[in-house]
Amino acid sequence: MAFNSVLEIVNGVAKITLSGELDAAAAPAFRTDVEKAAAAKVKAVALLMKDLEYMASAGLRALVFAKQKMGAQTEIYMIGLQESVMETIEMTGFQNSVTFLDSYDAAKVEGA
């Protein structure tokens, strides 16, 4: 399935909806959305990932880039991960750098 990334900024939160397969060919599109969110100086990033079926190492590098680009003061939420994507993240230890949610919780994310 082709990768798709859609950025929406609401209440100071960058919501990036990811679907398909985040691999080396798709990572630049995701990085572009991260750069736009960083330029908007958002207080949090919500990665809506329920339709993301696969993440390659290039996808992980894009996530690390997101964390670095946003800075320590910006919380990153990973929402609705499929088990295979979660396993990929856990293999690297990146789960210690973000917050996981089963579904979007405006009180938690927008109150960040």
**Could you read off the pLDDT of 21-69 as tens digits, one per residue?**
999 999 999 989 988 998 898 999 999 999 999 998 888 888 888 888 8
Buried b / exposed e over 11-39, threshold 16 CB at 10 Å, is eebbbbbbbebbeeebbeebbebbeebbe
Tokens of 96: 């210690």
**Are the C-beta atoms of residues 49 and 18 closer than 8 Å to each other?**
yes
Output 12 or 92, whichever has higher pLDDT: 12
- Beta-bridge partner residues of 101: 79
The answer regarding whether domain 4-106 maps to CATH 3.30.750.24 reads yes
